Amino acid sequence: MLNFALVGNPNSGKTTLFNALTGSTAHVGNWPGVTVDKREGTYKKGNEPINVVDLPGIYSLSPYTPEEVIARNYILNEHPDCVINIVDATNLERNLYLTTQLMELDVPMVVALNMTDVLDKRGDSIDVKTLEKRIGFPVVEVSALKGNNVESLMQRAIETAKTPRKGHSVLRESALGSAISNAEIALQLKEVEAPLFHAVKLVEKDSIEVETHPAEARAVEAFIQENLVNDTFQGDTEAAIADARYKYITKYFSSTLTRARKYSYDELSKSDKADKVLTHKWFGIPIFLMIMFAVFHMTFSENFLYLGSIIPAFGEWCGTQESVFFADGLNSPGVILFNCMELLTGQIGEWLTVGLQGLQANEVIVGFIIDGVWGGIAAVLSFLPQILVLFLFFSILEDTGYMARVAFMLDRIFRRFGVSGRAFMPMIMGFGCSVPAMVNTRTMADEKEREATVRVIPFFSCGAKLPILLAVSGAIVEAFGVGNADIITYSMYLLGIVTALISLLVMRNTTMRGETSPFIMELPAYHIPGFVNLMLHLWDKAKHFLQKAFTVILLSCVAIWIFSNFTWDWSYVGEEGMDSSILASIGKLIQPLFTPLGFGSQLNKNGWVFAVAAILGLIAKEDVIAAFGSLAACILGSEFAGATEEGVYEVTMMIQATGIDVPALIAFIAFNMLTIPCFAAVAAARGEIGKEKFKWTLVFWLATSFLVSTMVYTIGSFPWTIAVWAVVAVVVVLGIYFYNKYMDKKEAEAKSKKQYR
Ligand code: GDP
Ligand code: MG
C-alpha cells in the first residue's frame, strides 16, 4: 500500500485535509501543535487504498522541538512514497520556508496550496504554473475546508510517487553553495542516504548532524573558517542559510502571488487591533477570566445577567413561576436546556412506570427498572445539555484563535510554576476529558515537565465531574439556603486550578526538578469558526457521553441496585431493609476513611452513601450522581415517590437523610475533583508516563485529594484550624526552599567537576 505523509506548518490545515482524505472526524482546531500524535488513516477514493499520515506541524526541519524531530525522522527513516507539503497560501513566504527544506530530501513531493478559498475571497491570485516550474514539483490548489480539488491533489500525488526524486536546493547559488556541495560529495562517498539534506544540515551545524558525522563536520568547519568567516554572518551559517532561503523565496516564489492588497491588510490590522486589547499586558488575563466567568454564567446561572436582582419586582415574580424559563430571574440558556431535558427524562420515567403497572409487573422489577436503572441514568443525562453548552463556548473560543493567545499570555505566569505555555492546551482540554488531554502533553519538550502536567490534568475538572459540581452546589443552595450555585461551581473550578498550580510548583521543585522548555508559537489571525466544525466537536462530545451513560453507568446502576437491595445471603430486602444490604455493609466499612473529610463516621444512619459514591467515582465520575439517583430512591422510599429525576433534588434529600453539613459537602466535591479521575484516565496516564512513575501518580492523586478535602472541611468547620494549616504550609515551603538550595549546590559541584576533568 502506498504511504503518503502530510507535512506543513502548524495551522496550515493538515488535520482538515487529513480528515477530508480519510473521512475521520478527528479533532480539528487551530491549536498550533495539536497533532503531535502521529495520526494515520486510509484514503479510499482512488483505485487503491492509500495510507495517509498526519505529521506534527513544524516551521522547519531543525532539531529544536519534538515535533520537528518527529517529522524529520519520519520522512528520513520511513521513506513515505510521497510527501504532501501543505502550504497556507495566505501566508506564503513563511510556509514555503519549510518547502525549501523539504525540497532537499530525496522523496517524491507535491505541494498542496491550501486555503485558496480565502485567497479567492480576497481577490488574490497565485500563478500556479510558474510557481510549479520554479519549485520543481507539482503544486495543486486546494481548499481542505471546502474539499475543493482534494481528489486531483491525490491523483497528482499518486503519479508523482511513481518516480523517485533527487533532492535539489535553493541554496546552490548562495555564498554557502560551495560548502554544501563539498559536504554533499563527502557524504555521497560514504553512501549516506539523502546526502544533500544532510550536507545542508552539516553546514548549518545542526546538532544531530554534527554528532552523526563528526569528521565531515570538522571538514566543513575548516572550509567555513577559511572562506566565509568574514562575510555578513561571521560564520553563523544557520542564520546565513535562513537568510538565503528567505531571499530566494521572495525573489522567485512569492513573486507569483498577486495581491488585491487592501483587503488582506485590513484583515491583519483588525486582528492586530483586537490583540492590542485582548492580549494587553495588564488587562489580557483579567479579560480572559471575565470571558470564562461569562461562559459559566451563560451555562449555569438561574439569574441571567442578574436581571432578577437588578429589577427586584421581576425577580420576585420569577420566583413564583414554576417554569422552564424562570427561577431567581431569567434562566440562562444552559439552564433552560437543562430544564427541558429534565422534563423529558421525567416524562419517560412516568411512561415507564405506567407501562410497567399496565403489565402488572412484579414490585421488585418495577423498583429495579424505575429506581435502579432509569433513576441513575436520568440523573446523569439531565446534565448533558449544560455540558454541551459549555463545550460549545470552549470550542468557539478555541476555533477563533483566542485560546492560542491565552496560552501565549499565560506562558509568562506558567513559567513561575515550572511549565511552559505549551501546558495550557492540555489543561484546557482537561476541562473536557482528561484522556485526550493527557495524550496531548506529547507536545511538551521536557519529560519531567510533561509528567508533572499529566498529573495535574485531572484537577482541571472534566465534563463528567460537572454533574457532581452542579448537583451538590445546587443542593447546598436548596437545603441550607446559602450561597449561589454558579459561584460555588466557578470557585470549585478555581480550587482545582489553584491546586494544580501549587502541585506543579511543588513537583518541579522536588521530585521533578528541571529547566522549563522555551515556548515559541505563531499566532494565527482571528477568524470566525466554521459551523460544521463546531457541530462536529459537539457531536463527538455528546456521542461519548451517551455511550458512557448506556454502558458503564448503566452497569454501575444495575450493580448498585442489586447490592443495595439484597443482603449477603441474597435475600431481597427492598427499600426498607436497605440498611442491611451488601452495599450498606461495605459502605459502613470504608466510611471511617472519610471522617477527616467530613463525610465519614460523623454522619447519621445513611451516611455511608457518600463513602460509596466517592469510591464508585474512582471508576467513572458519572457514577457519583448516578449512585445518588439510585440510592436516594431506595433510602427515601415513599417520601421520594413522584419526585422528578433530578440530581439536585436527590442530593438535597440525601443531605436531609444523612445530616451532612456545608463544609463536608464542599470537601466532598473537592475530593471528587482531585482524586483518581476514572479508569479511562488511569489507563491513559499509565500509557503516557510509564509504569513506575505511574504508581506514584496514583499515590499523588489520593494524597492530594485527602489533604485538600481535609483542609477544606476542617477550615470550614473550625476556622481556627487555619493557623495549623498555615504552620504546615510554612514548614513545607521552608523545607522545599532548603532542599532546592542544597540540590543546586550539589549540581553546581557536579558540573564544575566534570569541566575540570
Ligand atoms: P493543522 O494545525 O495544520 O492541523 O491545521 P488545522 O487543520 O487544524 O486547520 C487550522 C485552521 O484552518 C482551522 O480552523 C481550519 O478550519 C482552517 N482551515 C483549514 N483548511 C482551510 C481551508 O482550506 N480554507 C479555510 N478557509 N480554512 C481552512
Ligand atoms: Mg492539526
What is the distance in A from the centroid of ligand 2 to the CA of 573? 56
Residue 644 lies in a domain: no
- Report yes or no: 237 and 176 within 8 Å, Cβ to Cβ: yes
Alpha carbon distance 321, 475 (integer Å)? 20
Task: Evaluate: CB of 118 within 6 angstroms of ligand 1.
Answer: yes
Which pLDDT does position 522 carry in this prediction? 59
Statement: residue 757 has pLDDT above 70: no
Judge if 101 and 234 occupy the same domain: no
Question: Is the pLDDT score of 273 beyond 50?
Answer: yes
C-alpha to C-alpha distance for 718 and 723, rounded to whole angstroms: 11
At residue 644 the predicted structure's pLDDT band, cuts being 50, 70 and 90, is: very low
- Residue 643 pLDDT greater than 50, yes or no: no
**Greatest C-alpha distance within the chain:** 99
Ligand positioned closest to the Cα atom of 11: 1
| Separation CA 95–CA 691 (nearest Å) | 40
Clarify whether residues 33 and 156 are in a common domain.
yes
- Asked if 29 and 87 sit in the same domain, the reply is yes
Q: Which ranges constitute the DSSP H helices of 457-516? A: 466-480, 485-509
What is the residue type of 580? S
In this structure, are strands 2-8 and 257-258 parallel, antiparallel, or unpaired?
unpaired
C-alpha span between 406 and 386 (Å, rounded): 24
* Residue 422, C-alpha cell as written in the block: 505549551
Residues 121 and 187 reside in one and the same domain: no
Query: Where does a domain end: 241, 258, 275?
Result: 258
Residues 119 and 207 in one domain: no
In this structure, which residue's CA is closest to atom 28 in ligand 1? Answer: 145
- The verdict on the CB of residue 57 being under 6 Å from ligand 1 is yes
Q: In this structure, is residue 305 part of a structural domain?
A: no
List the beta bridge partners of residue 125.
Answer: 258
Ligand 1 binding pocket includes 28 (Cβ within 6 Å): yes
- Provide the residue range defining the domain that includes 191: 177-258
Mean pLDDT is highest, among 161-170, 328-337, 357-366, for 161-170
Q: Which residues pair with 113 in a beta bridge?
A: 87, 141
140 and 217 together in one domain: no
Residues 106 and 28 in one domain: yes
pLDDT, tens only, 160-208: 999 999 999 999 888 888 889 999 999 999 999 999 999 999 998 888 8
16 alpha carbon to ligand 1 midpoint, in Å? Answer: 6
182 and 139 within one domain: no
If asked whether residues 114 and 227 sit together in one domain, one would say: no
Residue 106 lies in a domain: yes
Would you state the pLDDT for residue 526? 83
Q: Does a structural domain hold residue 137?
A: yes
Percentage, residues of the chain above pLDDT 90: 32
Question: And the C-alpha cell for 715?
Answer: 477550615
Residues 6+ apart with CB under 8 A from 123: 260, 263
Please state which of the ranges 89-98, 374-383, 606-615 shows the lowest mean pLDDT: 374-383
Report pTM.
0.61
Per-residue pLDDT of 501-558, as tens digits, reads: 999 999 998 888 877 776 666 567 788 888 887 887 788 778 877 887 788 778 888 8
| pLDDT value, residue 110 | 97
Average pLDDT over residues 45-61: 88
Q: Are 168 and 196 in contact (CB under 8 A)?
A: yes
Q: Which residues contact 569 (CB under 8 A, 6 or more apart)?
A: none
- Which of 12, 14, 16 has the most ligand 1 atoms within 8 A of CB, as the residue to mutate? 16
Q: 109 or 538: whose pLDDT is higher?
A: 109
Query: Which of these, 292, 475, 491, lies nearest to 390 by C-alpha position?
Result: 292
Lowest mean pLDDT, pick from 45-54, 351-360, 469-478, 568-577: 568-577
pLDDT of residue 716: 94
Q: What is the pLDDT of residue 708?
A: 96
Ligand 1 atom nearest to CA at 28: 8
Looking at the CA of residue 8, tell me the nearest atom of ligand 1. Answer: 3
Query: 14 CB less than 6 Å from ligand 1?
Result: yes
- Domain assignment present for 739: yes
Ligand 1 mean position, distance from CA 14 (Å) = 7
Where among 242, 258, 274 does a domain terminate? 258
CA-to-CA distance for 352 and 159, rounded, in angstroms? 61
Q: Is the CB of 149 under 6 A from ligand 1?
A: no
* The pLDDT of residue 3: 93
What is d(CA 436, CA 459) in angstroms, rounded to the nearest whole number?
14
CB neighbours of 302 closer than 8 A, spacing ≥ 6? Answer: 327, 328, 329, 331, 332, 335, 485, 486
Q: Which residues contact 153 (CB under 8 A, 6 or more apart)?
A: 84, 110, 112, 140, 142
**Which residue in the block uniquely carries the three cell numbers 424562570?**
326
**pLDDT (tens digit, 9 = 90+) per residue, 542-561?**
887 788 778 877 888 888 88
Q: What is the 3-state secondary structure (H, E, C) of 708-743?
A: HHHHHHHHHHCCCHHHHHHHHHHHHHHHHHHHHHHH
Percent of the chain residues past pLDDT 70, beyond the cut: 92
Surface-to-core class of residue 737, CB atoms within 10 Å of its CB (0-12 exposed, 13-18 middle, 19+ buried): exposed
> Does residue 732 lie within any of the structural domains?
yes
Structural domain count of the chain: 3
**Long-range pairs of 304-310 with CB within 8 A, sequence gap ≥ 24:** 304/329, 304/330, 304/331, 304/332, 305/329, 305/330
Examine the domain organization and report whether 8 and 151 are in the same domain. Answer: yes
Which of these, 149, 274, 256, 257, lies nearest to 524 by C-alpha position? Answer: 274
Question: How many other β-carbons are positioned within 10 Å of the β-carbon of residue 413?
Answer: 12
Q: What band does 32 get if pLDDT is binned at 50, 70 and 90?
A: very low
Q: Which band of pLDDT confidence, cut at 50, 70 and 90, is reported for residue 66?
A: confident
H/E segment holding residue 39? strand 39-43
Q: What average pLDDT does this structure show over 608-630?
A: 87
Which residue in 22, 105, 6, 108 sits closest to 58, CA to CA?
Answer: 6
Residue 356 lies in a domain: no
Residue nearest to atom 19 of ligand 1 (CA): 13
What integer pLDDT is reported at residue 688 of this predicted model? Answer: 81
Which 3 state secondary structure label does DSSP give 514? coil
Cα three-residue angle 402-8-133, rounded to 5 degrees: 130
Residue 730 lies in a domain: yes
Q: What Å distances lie between residue 627 and 138, 269, 615, 622, CA to CA?
A: 60, 54, 11, 9
Average pLDDT value over all residues in the chain: 85
Ligand in nearest proximity to the CA of 31: 1
User: What is the pLDDT, as a whole number, of residue 24?
Assistant: 56
State whether 147 and 251 are in the same domain: no
For residue 190, count other CB atoms closer than 10 A to its CB: 11
Q: Is the CB of 117 under 6 A from ligand 1?
A: yes
Please check the confidence at residue 230 and state whether its pLDDT lies above 70.
no
Close Cβ partners of 47 (under 8 Å, ≥ 6 residues apart): none
Phi, psi of 701 (to 5 degrees): -65, -45
Residue at which a domain ends, from 228, 258, 288: 258
Judge if the beta carbon of residue 55 lies within 6 A of ligand 1. no
Three-class DSSP category at 82? strand
Q: What is the pLDDT of residues 35-45, one digit of tens each?
A: 456 678 889 88
The CATH number covering residue 128 comes to 3.40.50.300
Q: How far is residue 733's CA from residue 729's CA, in Å, rounded to a whole number?
A: 6
Coil, helix or strand for 85? strand
| 205 vs 236: CA distance, rounded Å | 9
Identify the CA nearest to 645 among candidates 381, 322, 379.
379
Are 72 and 113 within one domain? Answer: yes
